[in-house]
Structure 1
């Protein structure tokens, strides 16, 4: 592998090497073992406020004497023969953090010193962004060790699903829950956990759609101290360590990038992982339950989801029906939420029969999540919600063979995308461009809606926020 790598790199020209280094986000600065300056990329020239034509006529000691730097980590590395860290001020008054690494020659001396540096302000901004991502991740990650939420299944079809899940819960088989957003997949996942031998263990639920690609490995598997810039001094356990002996619920698993999918597959296949920056293999005793509102089979065919991960997750597939197909559950859930929110807000409300009838007729595009929000709003305000009944299907004109053939010439995917775009436009318009409210109305996660807004170019219309 190393030989192939060297052969491949040998084909690069000096100009290409220079282009690569100039496209690094950091300042790259190289000296020989005596401190003579050999190379500086464009970013290093800007940081030193000096052109390379001038730099190559100096060594690092002269650079310091002439006031371009207040300190030199390159000099420290040459003197000690070890990696050196420093923070210096350039002649513009900017603080620059540097790391200098000596490269030994065959005689045990120093052939060159490679220095990488960044402005301290840039590093702090990156740290702030990383902290923001970590905070976001912790908000998405929920840990539940109490009783599972109440599971209501009055509808015969839903009752059959619950009975099947009871049987699956007895083993550690991986379960894949599919269905529209808001149908209660997390409640069902918790139900499986409560009826399994792992009921006393942790239940960790994470929204895969919102994990940044550059954090997936460290958040799932943890990291050792000093593994990367900004890492906690003591290191950090990952999701699989925290859930050892318990259950992990991977919600919106269809939103994982291909890179993240490959990293997840490895631990699912072997049950083994290593922390980022670590060398010790660890074993994870974790039961996996996954959920998605996307068609993973279609994603596999489109090369958007790994087929090996799909078959690893889809050992037991369970399709959760939308609320509009569970009419007997609508009134039962409404009554359940009514009790919860009356107790929470210390308000007494009844559910009028006429309102209950309208609840049953409404198609609930946001499913249980929308019903829950509707009932809470009713409890707080006392105003019965406006719920338009499902529109009757439009009367299709009678088509002859030619018209029918023309209609069928449009691919099904295009038809579905047109319908999806129209629905998203309508939801955004109804919510005044507020993405969070529109996502709730559509019954999808906000991050998913942002992706679809970009897909259909809807960001060029109203100001969505």
Structure 2
């Protein structure tokens, strides 16, 4: 025990320029017997006690006298790491405690030492009492007169005596057969002496107690030999069980490796040798740290178990080149300490081969994916088009091919599929990419202004015309690309002029008779069936054939499902960056969006994503934040009506058939239909085949 454990830390202290009066007030205020006097660096310069103050005042020293003026005396200090036993004999009432720099860190008094020694003595007495009470051996203690002063519970039990009939009585009267007076008389120590008491044979140890060279008493420690016999019988039973356990371990098909709680090798069975190719004599008694370092094993499951204190399974390779799967399991005692680690070793050569093959396949898949991704980027090369679906990529591949020539392209597709983006894609990949890309929405321009907007007009061509005249969109797009969106809305009379412009590559402004040569590539788009319009005489056949040189059909979003999630991520990222947010969609919300039919296609998807992000107060957008039209439907309620009574089994089959047919018609996918009905895809297919 160190002084630092007994001292009073951070004691009160006085400065050299404090007065006697200051010292008196401080000692009285804190009710202490003394205080250290320190300099500005906390080094001890002296000590003053209440006794010192009384003597000073008796000698006529005034209360305003500063401490520095008092007679100096030798200061005794003690280091905080000094052993307590080294200060027990010091003549002191109060002693400053210092650190390595001789700075004051505490105060130690004789009272502190005395109280601690008393406390320690009481602890030792308590410990001795606990030992005497808990031991199974009988203990009898006699004084120098041979009178019994202590007999523990085990002694009373073995000898069948009562406490009040033995303590304070002579031992040769209470237990004469044990000859306790012999210890006092001879002072000789005896071991394993067999003595009879009543019907019991006791095995005894006699030990004399000395103090300052004189016998002060003796101790008799004994046990009943019959208890040893039961222990021997139990040991025989344990040995038999151990042999059986050894046989089980040795016959196990799995390899078994056992270490103690310090990773020292205890047992290795025959299967372990066979599986690993190692010999047990190479490893028994050795520590796993050493075996791992020497390369017997690539890494030790035992060491991992001892570190993490839980069952661990790893792949292990031995110096023989063999690879296995091992599982280490800790064995705990009553104090939750690991006493053993049992490691099971299983030959997984075939599994390793499959893993290697799987790894090769994964690497090959990754290689193919990378190549496909590179091809996709080469084809697209445009941040405005998000395409992962193979069908869409094929469409873009075709678009990139026709972009290299000036062929007229007719882009077909439903509203919102991205026809304009494909038109821009064609322009950016053409030789005209550095020239203008002009979009004309044929359905948005009034018929009365259509001709002047497309072809321009001369000054004074009509009332309200610009004095200087105006260039038409064909002239604006000269050298570049003109995108005629919603071409199906073009009035019949304008179709004639457009056809002539395409054929002759020249235009004539309104109010002019002079034609102007133009160099414009035409891209047209519509969501209408132009062939039906031709048949209905609503669209000129010759213009249709002139525009339909290369038709490019953009599939609706519901038919290119692989594009839905990338588009969601793209719109989400764009909006987060725009508004400085960090929002995301939950898994169920993404599932709902991916399963939705998207009649409005990409435009509808973009609007719904933006609406959900803007309207949701949470950072994670759940399916409940989506519009009701988009929310997932786990199944449709089918009501069977009618007054006809049919067998219950038939009614159930009818409803099941309706549900399966309705789900497949709605989702167009076995997986999605099965999910909506809450069954496995295999069950869905089996039931569908049954009813079909």
Deviations 1:390-414 (A, max 9, x none): 898999xxxxxxxxxxxxxxxxxxx
Quote the Cα distance in structure 2 between the aligned partners of 1:363 and 1:282: 48
Kept in 2, the 8 Å contact 1:208–1:256? The answer is yes
SS at match of 1:190: helix
SS at match of 2:440: strand
Counterpart of 2:557 (choices 320, 323, 330) is 323
SS at match of 1:227: coil
Counterpart of 1:385 (choices 626, 640, 645) is 626
In the alignment, which residue of structure 1 is the partner of 2:431? Answer: 197
In the alignment, which residue of structure 2 is the partner of 1:270? Answer: 504
Distance 1:324 1:235, change over 3 A: same
Counterpart of 1:255 (choices 481, 489, 509) is 489
In the alignment, which residue of structure 2 is the partner of 1:426? Answer: none
In the alignment, which residue of structure 1 is the partner of 2:608? Answer: 374
In the alignment, which residue of structure 2 is the partner of 1:237? Answer: 471
In the alignment, which residue of structure 2 is the partner of 1:304? Answer: 538
In the alignment, which residue of structure 2 is the partner of 1:156? Answer: 390
Quote the Cα distance in structure 1 between the aligned partners of 2:539 and 2:598: 29
Gaps of 5+ in 2: 1-380, 639-692
Kept in 2, the 8 Å contact 1:362–1:390? The answer is no
Distance 1:394 1:296, change over 3 A: farther
Counterpart of 1:167 (choices 401, 410, 413) is 401
Quote the Cα distance in structure 2 between the aligned partners of 1:309 and 1:392: 48
Bigger radius of gyration? 2
**Map 1:101-112 → 2, pairs under 5 A:** none
Deviations 1:285-324 (A, max 9, x none): 0111100000000000000000010001000001111001
**Map 1:280-429 → 2, pairs under 5 A:** 280-382=514-616, 384-386=625-627, 387-389=630-632
Shift of 1:351: 2.2
Deviations 1:353-381 (A, max 9, x none): 22111111000111000100111112212
Shift of 1:345: 2.0
Shift of 1:262: 1.2
SS at match of 2:496: helix
Shift of 1:211: 1.4
Deviations 1:209-243 (A, max 9, x none): 11111111110010011000000011100000000
SS at match of 2:483: strand
**Map 1:433-444 → 2, pairs under 5 A:** none
In the alignment, which residue of structure 1 is the partner of 2:665? Answer: none
Quote the Cα distance in structure 2 between the aligned partners of 1:285 and 1:350: 47
Quote the Cα distance in structure 1 between the aligned partners of 2:567 and 2:418: 11
**Map 1:14-53 → 2, pairs under 5 A:** none
> Using CA pairs below 8 Å that are at least 6 residues apart, which structure has the higher relative contact order?
1
Distance 1:391 1:188, change over 3 A: farther
Distance 1:245 1:391, change over 3 A: farther
**Number of residue pairs the alignment of both structures matches:** 250
In the alignment, which residue of structure 2 is the partner of 1:227? Answer: 461
**So what's the TM-score if we normalise by structure 1?**
0.52
Quote the Cα distance in structure 1 between the aligned partners of 2:426 and 2:633: 33
Quote the Cα distance in structure 2 between the aligned partners of 1:339 and 1:246: 32
Kept in 2, the 8 Å contact 1:176–1:317? The answer is yes
Quote the Cα distance in structure 2 between the aligned partners of 1:388 and 1:191: 33
SS at match of 1:365: coil
Quote the Cα distance in structure 1 between the aligned partners of 2:416 and 2:567: 13
Quote the Cα distance in structure 1 between the aligned partners of 2:631 and 2:584: 21
Quote the Cα distance in structure 2 between the aligned partners of 1:337 and 1:164: 26
In the alignment, which residue of structure 2 is the partner of 1:112? Answer: none
Kept in 2, the 8 Å contact 1:177–1:291? The answer is yes
SS at match of 1:289: strand
- More displaced 10-residue stretch of structure 1: 263-272 or 301-310: 263-272
Quote the Cα distance in structure 2 between the aligned partners of 1:366 and 1:381: 20
Shift of 1:149: 5.6
Quote the Cα distance in structure 2 between the aligned partners of 1:330 and 1:322: 11
Distance 1:367 1:391, change over 3 A: farther
Deviations 1:170-193 (A, max 9, x none): 000000011100000000000000
Name the one with the larger strand percent. Answer: 2
Distance 1:300 1:364, change over 3 A: same
SS at match of 2:447: coil
**Map 1:61-210 → 2, pairs under 5 A:** 150-210=384-444
Distance 1:391 1:239, change over 3 A: farther
Distance 1:196 1:358, change over 3 A: same
Gaps of 5+ in 1: 1-146, 396-465
Distance 1:320 1:391, change over 3 A: farther
Quote the Cα distance in structure 2 between the aligned partners of 1:202 and 1:190: 11
Kept in 2, the 8 Å contact 1:202–1:247? The answer is yes
Quote the Cα distance in structure 1 between the aligned partners of 2:584 and 2:564: 16
Quote the Cα distance in structure 2 between the aligned partners of 1:390 and 1:176: 38
